[in-house]
């Protein structure tokens, strides 16, 4: 019933010490007392899905949040043990964990490595105190540098750092300084995100009430170009619109998303894409714990159709059947985020049609405008197309879902 493709497994940890001013993720401050019960519920959910799906192989594991580095090492070990008991997990599986610089030290990071975490993603966001305060990050630039040094001393050899650009009041010179600072730390991976102002956040209120200058999208585009240039000079491979890596250090878990492969999300608010359906769990950790524990006795005896499985998974709050056409469109949208582009042969094998035929007129038109190109068996955005990605995506969508 399910595809045999290996699974990308996401584990959501919805706890943070404090809430950053720009954040609209599903995360809660002051709820850490729930951690033991929450981890128990995650283990239940892992067992449910292993039985339901016929124990597919897990190719990657990613602890995201929230702040997964708030989990004590024994809890991470327990969760990995539960996953390994439930699913076949290859020894070389990429196991990533997102960490907040203010929450880690060498002993903790060595402990994570000892229990199998082999990739760390550190949310640095900026190296300048005024921007860290503006974002409400709750850690300093010195703590970020110390976290990187601690990760190295603990033996970490696959370290990703995240930065945000396009901040209110941030100049091109400020951004150049951040790029210099991050490159000096020599991470294996870099994720650079343009600030998105999410409605309802304190940052959105600051901007709406004029307490902060509005971000300038043209300046953000210049910052993106500067990053592309600086990181290329430093030997990083630009492999996805917002992601760069040393060759061979691309994030394999996220590559599964961009290839529109199957993924299973465990935990409060986690999303999954499996068996022709996309679905999401209840958001509040308390509800998730109650509902996942309630299912302890009702695990499916054997795999079945996804809609039937979801009917006995009361912690799943939203579900949507994805039509073949929508899957095709989403595969193109995600695949074009990769700098190498969308593999044309793999696409034809998966959908039984070529990309150009699937979007009549649009691919040719975008090619003539210099926004899309074909190279080495892939359809990809040109450098100009990367800056005008939204225009490309809306033209493709206008040729019909």
Q: Please say which residue, 27 or 96, places its beta carbon nearer to ligand SF4.
A: 27
Distance CA 46, CA 308 (A): 18
- Judged by CB under 6 A, the residue of 66, 335, 341, 385 near ligand SF4 is 66
With CB under 6 A as the contact rule, which of the stretches 18-26, 251-259, 261-269, 270-278 interacts with ligand SF4? Answer: 18-26
Residue recorded with tokens 């899957």: 327
With CB under 6 A as the contact rule, which of the stretches 63-71, 215-223, 237-245, 326-334 interacts with ligand SF4? Answer: 63-71
Copy the structure tokens of residue 15.
Answer: 């706890």
Least Å distance, CB 388 to ligand SF4, is: 28
Question: Pairing between strand 189-194 and 372-375?
Answer: unpaired
Distance CA 92, CA 99 (A): 21
Q: Is residue 65 near ligand SF4 by the rule CB under 6 A?
A: yes
The dihedral region occupied by 209, where left means phi > 0, alpha psi between -120 and 50, and beta the remainder, is alpha
Q: Is residue 193 near ligand SF4 by the rule CB under 6 A?
A: no
Least Å distance, CB 67 to ligand SF4, is: 5
Q: Please say which residue, 33 or 173, places its beta carbon nearer to ligand SF4.
A: 33
Q: Distance between alpha carbon 83 and the CA centroid of its chain, in Å?
A: 20
Among residues 360, 44, 20, the alpha carbon closest in space to that of 203 is found at 20
Q: Please say which residue, 17 or 293, places its beta carbon nearer to ligand SF4.
A: 17
CB-count burial class (<10 Å; 0-12, 13-18, 19+) for 51: middle
Strand partners, 319: 279
Least Å distance, CB 23 to ligand SF4, is: 3
Q: Please say which residue, 196 or 216, places its beta carbon nearer to ligand SF4.
A: 196
Kindly write out the interface string for residues 22-41 of this chain, putting x where it contacts ligand SF4 by CB under 6 A and - elsewhere: -x-x-x--------------
With CB under 6 A as the contact rule, which of the stretches 50-58, 62-70, 260-268, 372-380 interacts with ligand SF4? Answer: 62-70
Q: How many CA atoms lie within 13 A of 289 on its CB side?
A: 14
The site for ligand SF4 (CB under 6 A) is made up of 16, 19-20, 23, 25, 27, 65-67, 100, 123
């Amino acid at each position: 019933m399910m595809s045999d493709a290996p699974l990308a497994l996401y584990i959501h940890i919805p706890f943070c010490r404090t809430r950053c001013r720009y954040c609209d993720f599903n995360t809660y401050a002051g709820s850490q007392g729930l951690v033991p019960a929450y981890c128990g519920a995650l283990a239940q959910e892992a067992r449910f899905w292993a039985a339901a799906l016929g124990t597919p192989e897990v190719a990657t594991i990613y602890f995201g949040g929230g702040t997964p580095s708030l989990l004590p090492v024994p809890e991470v070990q327990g969760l990995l043990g539960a996953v390994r008991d439930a699913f076949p997990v290859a020894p070389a599986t990429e196991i990533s964990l997102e960490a907040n610089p203010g929450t880690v030290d060498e002993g903790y990071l060595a402990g994570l490595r000892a229990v199998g975490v082999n990739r760390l993603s550190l949310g640095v966001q900026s190296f300048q105190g005024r921007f860290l305060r503006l974002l409400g990050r709750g850690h300093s630039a010195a703590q970020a540098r110390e976290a990187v040094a601690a990760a190295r001393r603990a033996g970490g050899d696959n370290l990703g750092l995240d930065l945000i650009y396009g901040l209110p009041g941030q100049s091109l010179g400020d951004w150049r300084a951040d790029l210099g600072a991050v490159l000096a730390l020599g991470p294996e991976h870099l994720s650079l995100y343009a600030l998105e102002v999410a409605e309802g956040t304190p940052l959105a209120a600051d901007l709406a009430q004029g307490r902060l200058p509005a971000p300038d999208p043209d300046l953000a585009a210049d910052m993106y170009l500067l990053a592309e240039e600086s990181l290329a000079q430093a030997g990083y491979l630009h492999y996805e619109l917002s992601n760069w890596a040393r060759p061979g250090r691309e994030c394999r878990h996220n590559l599964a998303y961009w290839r529109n492969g199957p993924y299973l999300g465990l935990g409060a608010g986690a999303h999954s894409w499996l068996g022709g359906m996309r679905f999401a769990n209840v958001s509040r950790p308390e509800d998730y714990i109650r509902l996942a524990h309630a299912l302890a006795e009702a695990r499916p005896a054997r795999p079945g159709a996804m809609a039937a499985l979801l009917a006995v998974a009361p912690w799943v709050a939203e579900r949507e059947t994805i039509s073949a056409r929508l899957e095709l469109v989403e595969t193109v949208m995600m695949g074009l985020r990769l700098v190498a582009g969308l593999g044309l042969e793999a696409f034809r094998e998966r959908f039984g049609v070529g990309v150009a035929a699937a979007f009549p007129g649009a691919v040719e038109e975008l090619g003539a405008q210099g926004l899309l190109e074909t190279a080495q068996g892939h359809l990809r955005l040109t450098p100009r197309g990367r800056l005008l990605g939204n225009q490309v995506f809306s033209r493709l969508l206008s040729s019909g879902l």
